Amino acid sequence: MASCLSITIAFILFFVVLVVVISSLNKEEEIVVKNNSVLEITLSDAVKDYVPQSDNPFDAMFAKNSFQMSQIINAIENAKYDDDIKGISIENLMVNAGISQLQTIRKKIIEFKESGKFVTAYADLYTQKNYYLSSVADAIYVTPYGNVEFRGLSSERLFYKDFQDKYGVKMEVIRHGKYKSAVEGYLDNKMSDANREQITSFLNSIWSVFLEDISKSRNISVSELNNIADNLLGRSSELSVKNNLLDAAIYKDEYTTILNELAGVEKVNKISLEDYIAYGKGRIRSTSSNKIAVLYAQGTMLYGKGDDTYIGQGSIIKAIRKIKKDKNIKAVVLRVNSPGGVALTGDLIGRELALLKEEKPLVVSMGNLAASGGYWIAANADKIYAEPTTITGSIGVFGTIPNFSGLVNDIGINAEQVATNKQSSGYSVYEPMSKEFYDERKEGVERVYTTFLQRVAEGRKMTVDEADAIAQGRVWTGKEALEIGLVDELGGLDNALEGAATLAGLVDYRTTDYPRYKKDLEDAFKNFPFAMSKENLLKSELGERNYSVYNEIQRFSKMEGIQALMPYEINIK
C-alpha cells in the first residue's frame, strides 16, 4: 500500500510540474493578428452550444478541443470589422457540428461578405455537411482527385423484435403518441407508416432548406440540384466543376496563390479560428451594466446534478435562482439543445423557469434539437426562436422496462416471490408483466402526457385539443413548427438575444453564461492518459458503429421513470 501511494503521489507531482511548465510556455507564445491576415475556419473539433470555462490546468492539457457556438459567431462578427482580416478561408474535411449550427454559421458568413471581404473554400473532398457550409463562399475549390458527396439525406433505424423473440430478452413498452417511436424498435421488425411519414416529412423539410440555400449561393436551380443528387453528378472533381458545384480542381499550393492574390500580398498570413477566439475575438465587448443571461440546457435530461454533457435539475435550478437574484440581469435566453429525457427533471426545471418568467423576460433559442422534454422546458417562454432545420416537437411520453422471462424459462431458471401484500412484489424482470402492473404504469404515462399537453397549451396559447393534434410524439423541423405554432420566429441565438433585449427594453447589453460548473477531484483527473475513460476504451475495442449501438442500449437502461424523450437518436447522413 505504501508503494502504491508513493507511485500515485509521484505521478501527481510529475503532472503538476508538467502543467506548470506547459502553462509557462503557452504564455510565451502570444497570439498576434498580423496585417493582411485570413481567418481560417476549420470545424473538425466539436461545435457545442456551451463549453464552460475551466480554471483546472489539467483540463487545458488533456481535454478535447471544442468550440462554443456563440464564440464562432462572435469571431466572424468581429472579423467583419477587423482591418487586419482581409477574408475568410473555409478549409474543412469533416465537419463536427449539427445541421442547425451550420446554418447559423453560414448565415453569419453571409453577413461577413456584406463588408466586401472575400470568402473562399478548399478541401480534399466535400462531405455533404461540409459542402453545405462551404457553398456560401465566393469560390469553392477541391483537390484534383477530390469530389462532392451530394446525394440527399437519409436516416436509418434498427429493429429488435426478432432478436427479442429469439433470445427471450425484451423491453416491455408503455407509451402515448402514435408517432412516439423511440420504442418502436422493440415492438416490431419494421417501420410503422406513422414513423415513416414523420421521418420523410422532416428529412424533406431539412433537404429543402439545403437546396434553397445552396441554390441561392451557387445559382443552380433546385430541380437541377436534385438531379445532381439523384445521379451522383458530384462523384468526381471533373463532374463537380462541370455541374457548377465547384469552381476548379487545384492543388493546395495553387489555392495558396489565389489567397495571396485576393489579399493583395506576396504571402498571406493565416490565423485559425481557434487562435482568433483565444486572442479575445470570441466575444463582443461591452461596458454596459445591463446583462442578458444565456442559460444553456444541452444533452439528455437525467435526474441529478447535471453538467455540460447532460441536463440535470440540480445545476439548472441553481443557475435559475442565481439569475433571478441578479438585478443587473434584465432578461434570459434559454438555449436548448436536447432530445429530452426524464419527465420529472423537465417538470422541475419548467416550474423554476415559470417563476423566473414572472420577474424577467424569458426567450428560448433552439439549437439542433429541442424535442420532447427539451420542448417541455421551452413551451412557456415569452418567445421561441428556432432554425429552419431544428428538430423539435415530439410531444409524447413513454416508459420501457426490461424483461428476461423468456430467457430464464429457456435456460431452466424459475423465479419465485414472497410478499406481504398483493402489490408488494411490484414487477420482476424474470416474470411476464402482469395486466395490473401494465395498467398502473399506463396510468402514469397518460398522466404525464396530459400534463405535457397542458404545459404546451398554456405556453403556446392553444386549447388542449389543438396541442394534442400536433403532439402524439410527432417530430417537426423548425420550419414546420413555425407553421403550426410551436415556435414564433426562425432565427439563431443572436436573434433570440435581440428579441430578449426588445422585451426588456434594452438598447445595449452584454451576455453572461450559465450554469457555472465546478469540478471535483475525480473530474480533474479523468482526462489523464493513465486514467483512460471507459468510453474511449469501449470505442477502441468495439469501433464507432458498434459503440453507438451499445451506447443506445446503455442510454435506455439509465432512463428511470417516465420519459419525455425524442423518438430516437436522429443520425442524418
Cα separation values, 111 from 81, 106, 165, Å: 11, 9, 56
SS (H, E, C) 183-244: HHHHHCCCCCHHHHHHHHHHHHHHHHHHHHHHHHHHCCCHHHHHHHHHCCCCCCHHHHHHCC
- CA nearest to 435, candidates 206, 240, 172: 172
**Residue type present at position 496:** A
DSSP alpha helix (H) spans, 29-117 = 57-62, 69-81, 99-113
Catalytic annotation, pick one of 48, 107, 117, 180:
180
Cell of 9: 503521489
Amino acid at the residue 31 = I
Q: How far apart are CA 405 and CA 431, in angstroms?
A: 5
For residue 137, give the C-alpha cell: 463562399
Is residue 36 within 8 A of residue 86, CB to CB? The reply is yes
For 266, which DSSP code? S
> Which residues 6+ apart lie within 8 Å of 481 measured at CB?
386, 390, 392, 393, 487
Secondary structure class of 130 (helix, strand, coil): helix
Q: Using alpha carbons, select from 334, 329, 327, 273 the residue that is nearest to residue 298.
A: 334
CB atoms within 10 A of CB 450: 14
What are the distances in angstroms from CA 247 to CA 124, 238, 243?
14, 10, 10
304-309-311 Cα angle (round to 5): 40
Integer angstrom CA distances of residue 316 from 168, 307, 337, 339: 40, 9, 14, 16
| Residue 4 φ/ψ, nearest 5 degrees | -60, -45
Break the chain down into helix, strand, coil percent, rounded to 5. 45, 20, 35
CA distance 343 to 400: 13
Which residue among 100, 181, 372, 394 is the active-site one? 372
Residue found by looking up cell 462532392 in the block: 148
* Per-residue DSSP letter, 338: E
Task: Please indicate whether residue 180 is annotated as part of the active site.
Answer: yes
For residue 474 the three cell numbers come to 410527432
Q: Known catalytic residues?
A: 180, 372
